């Protein structure tokens, strides 16, 4: 609380609210990847942008993204807009409350999903309505399995995208990766072995997949060689394989080359070039396997020096991604998560330093 005296305003000592890091989710950062993809499709109804949105939604589902769902519950019209979106009803209390539905002129009914507080409060219809926070996958499954619902609408009052039930069915049943890619089966076997720490077996399968032309396997094999996991260590050989994979467009190889530039040569400019290449290459096909790494590295080497607020938003998404990787027992996920949380702590501490 500030006090006025004449033309000057005074604030009690120590009353400045401490800044905290945003959390990935609708009441924090929103879902930037989906929001950006929806905006591109909204501006240009092209096939390429439609598939960009599908890729973004696949990534959001991998990331266990949550959304805001308006509820069909009584509100007090005299109170005006309440902070329902920023303070959603706890999930256990909202469990039996039906969602508010959107009816179109063509007699179709959709479940509205909001990716952020801002989009939920963009129109009074939902700004004054209680909200519940749900998992995006669970909300989509509800729409798909509920009789009388034709699908969902993402952010109906702003840049919006309508997904009918046929699209939802494809999204919810989609599997990670291209099953028709060369060496896909061998790659999966190698990755599963790596998750268990069986590095000899992982190298065996990565080699087989790489021999069939799988560039992701080539990048992962190079990582094993770089660290001496299941094979003789050779940084020179690893760099050679990473460059070959990166030339073929493999995002994980670009990230690895950037990390090597920082660790070996202390060349920030060279590392940032690789991270930017990875960011560009992965923009249309975000994936929980590498997008969190991109978010972390860009925040570390560039965004933090331009906008601490934006860097913290990138790091919030990275933290969520590494938690998902950790649940999947992905190699080194804990190390990536620790590094992300340390940077978040440092940036929040900087933000709270006295001016």
The answer to whether position 120 is within a domain reads yes
The answer to whether position 260 is within a domain reads no
CA distance 224 to 111: 46
Q: What is the pLDDT of residues 316-329, one digit of tens each?
A: 999 999 999 999 99
**Amino acid 78: pLDDT:** 44
The answer to whether position 41 is within a domain reads yes
Q: What is the mean pLDDT of the chain?
A: 90
Sort strands 109-113 and 151-154 into parallel, antiparallel or unpaired: parallel
Q: Across residues 147-158, what is the average pLDDT?
A: 96
Using DSSP's 3-state secondary structure scheme, residue 131 falls into: strand
Over 90: is that where the pLDDT of 299 sits? yes
**Amino acid 10: pLDDT:** 45
Sort strands 102-103 and 131-135 into parallel, antiparallel or unpaired: unpaired
Over 80: is that where the pLDDT of 49 sits? yes
- C-beta of residue 113 within 8 angstroms of C-beta of residue 30: no
**Amino acid 119: pLDDT:** 95
The answer to whether position 45 is within a domain reads yes
Over 70: is that where the pLDDT of 15 sits? no
The answer to whether position 79 is within a domain reads yes
**Of 106 and 218, the one with more pLDDT:** 218
**Residue 1's pLDDT band (cuts 50, 70, 90):** very low
The answer to whether position 288 is within a domain reads no
Give Cα separations from 204 to 94, 130, 178, 290 (angstroms).
50, 54, 21, 22
The answer to whether position 319 is within a domain reads no
**Amino acid 9: pLDDT:** 45
Torsion angle, alpha carbons of 84, 90, 95, 100, to 10: 10
Sort strands 109-113 and 102-103 into parallel, antiparallel or unpaired: antiparallel
**Amino acid 92: pLDDT:** 82
Domain ranges, residue 92: 32-173
**Residue 32's pLDDT band (cuts 50, 70, 90):** very high
Over 50: is that where the pLDDT of 191 sits? yes
The answer to whether position 154 is within a domain reads yes
Query: Computed from CA positions of residues 339, 344, 346, 347, in that sequence, does the dihedral angle turn out positive or negative?
Result: positive
Domains held by the chain: number = 1
């Amino acid at each position: 609380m500030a006090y006025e005296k004449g033309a000057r305003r005074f604030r009690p000592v120590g009353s400045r609210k401490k800044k905290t890091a945003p959390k990935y989710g609708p009441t924090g950062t929103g879902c930037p990847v989906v929001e950006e993809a929806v905006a591109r499709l909204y501006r240009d109804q092209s096939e390429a942008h439609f598939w960009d949105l599908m890729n973004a939604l696949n990534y959001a589902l991998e990331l266990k993204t949550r959304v805001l769902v308006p509820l069909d519950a009584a509100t007090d019209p005299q109170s005006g807009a309440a902070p329902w979106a920023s303070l959603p009803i706890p999930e256990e209390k909202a469990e039996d409350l039906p969602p508010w539905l959107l009816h179109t002129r063509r007699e179709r009914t959709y479940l509205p999903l909001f990716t952020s507080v801002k989009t939920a409060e963009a129109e009074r219809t939902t700004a004054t309505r209680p909200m519940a926070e749900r998992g995006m996958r669970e909300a989509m499954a509800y729409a798909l399995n509920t009789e009388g619902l034709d699908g969902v609408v993402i952010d109906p009052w702003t840049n919006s995208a309508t997904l009918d039930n046929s699209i939802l069915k494809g999204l919810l049943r989609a599997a990670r990766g291209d099953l028709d890619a060369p060496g896909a089966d061998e790659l999966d076997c190698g990755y599963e072995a790596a998750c268990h720490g069986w590095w000899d077996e992982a190298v065996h399968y990565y080699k087989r997949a790489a021999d069939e032309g799988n560039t992701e396997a080539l990048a992962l094999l190079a990582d094993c060689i770089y660290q001496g996991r299941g094979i003789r260590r050779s940084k020179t050989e690893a760099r050679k394989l990473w460059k070959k994979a990166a030339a073929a467009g493999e995002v994980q190889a670009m990230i690895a080359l950037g990390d090597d530039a920082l660790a070996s040569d202390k060349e920030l400019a060279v590392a940032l070039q690789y991270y930017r290449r990875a960011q560009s290459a992965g923009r249309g096909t975000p994936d929980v396997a590498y997008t969190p790494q991109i978010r972390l590295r860009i925040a570390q080497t560039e965004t933090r020096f331009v906008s601490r607020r934006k860097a913290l938003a990138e790091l919030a998404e990275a933290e969520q991604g590494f938690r998902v990787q950790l649940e999947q027992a992905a190699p080194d996920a804990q190390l990536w998560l620790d590094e992300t949380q340390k940077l978040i702590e440092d940036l929040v501490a900087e933000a709270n330093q006295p001016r």
